[in-house]
Amino acid sequence: MRATSHSLLVRLCLVASLLLLAFSASAAAAGAADTASKSGARAPAAASAKDGTKSAAAGKPNRKLPVMTAERLRLFNGTNASLPLLVALDRRVYDVSTKRDVYGPGGGYETFSGRDSTRNFALYSTESKDDGSCIDDLEEKDFKMLAEWRRWFDERYPLVAVITEKLCDSDDSPEDAARRGFAIPSTASSQQQQEEGPQKPLSVPSQQDQQRKQRPPSPSTEL
């Protein structure tokens, strides 16, 4: 009788041990799956948010950039070698001092410097009669050309300022604001920006940069 009771007790203990091991294994597997699920759900979301921020930042100019007037921009046309050489495209002002032989006096694109030459770029024209910021009368192919130039400058030259004063009747249109990446404020607001906005000094290129000579761009290489 004692032997039978002892054998039964041993069997019960064995069954209990097996059940405990099975429960522990099941709990561990469930915990691992839950952790993996949470980790997998959060990582893509974080990556997506980061990519979205980066994409938005690439499409819009930094709002901390100095605000420049079209009149002040003319001081940076290359006639004064001690000042940076600036070119404006669609209200975005770029420092092209490293290519004074191209955009400076005597260069093939000197008419672009010291002004907002959006119309020149859109029409791929170096003639002064095509100078200006207003492009609402241009065709779709001209806007595509302008977009190519924007991409070229964004990839190769530092963006140092923006022009926010109203220069054209269409400056308030949503289409123009979407294209340039920022809206033109009211006259009063624009004036306040110009007076109180950050006046970050424009960097003066080194002598080495000024003396650097590069082959002037052509339609096949420039775009």
What does the pLDDT look like over 172-205, one tens digit per residue? Answer: 666 666 666 666 654 444 444 444 333 344 444 4
| pLDDT higher than threshold 50 for residue 137 | yes
Helix or strand holding residue 92 (H, E): strand 92-95
| pLDDT higher than threshold 50 for residue 139 | yes
- How many other C-beta atoms can be found within 10 angstroms of the C-beta atom of residue 85? 27
pTM: 0.56
Would you state the pLDDT for residue 171? 67
Max CA separation in the chain (angstroms): 117
Mean pLDDT, residues 32-40: 48
Mean pLDDT, residues 158-175: 78
| pLDDT higher than threshold 50 for residue 129 | yes
**Whole-angstrom distance, CA of residue 13 vs CA of residue 62:** 72
Would you state the pLDDT for residue 91? 86
CA angle 77/180/86 to nearest 5° reads 15
**Whole-angstrom distance, CA of residue 159 vs CA of residue 89:** 10
Would you state the pLDDT for residue 221? 41
**Confidence at 19, pLDDT banded by 50, 70, 90:** low
| pLDDT higher than threshold 80 for residue 23 | no
**Confidence at 39, pLDDT banded by 50, 70, 90:** very low
* 90 vs 202 pLDDT, higher one: 90
| pLDDT higher than threshold 50 for residue 121 | yes
Would you state the pLDDT for residue 114? 93
Spatial contact of 105 and 97, defined as CB atoms under 8 Å apart: no
**Whole-angstrom distance, CA of residue 208 vs CA of residue 113:** 21
**Whole-angstrom distance, CA of residue 154 vs CA of residue 20:** 65
CA angle 182/77/111 to nearest 5° reads 85
Point out which residues pair with 184 in neighbouring strands.
none
Across all residues in the chain, what is the average pLDDT?
A: 67
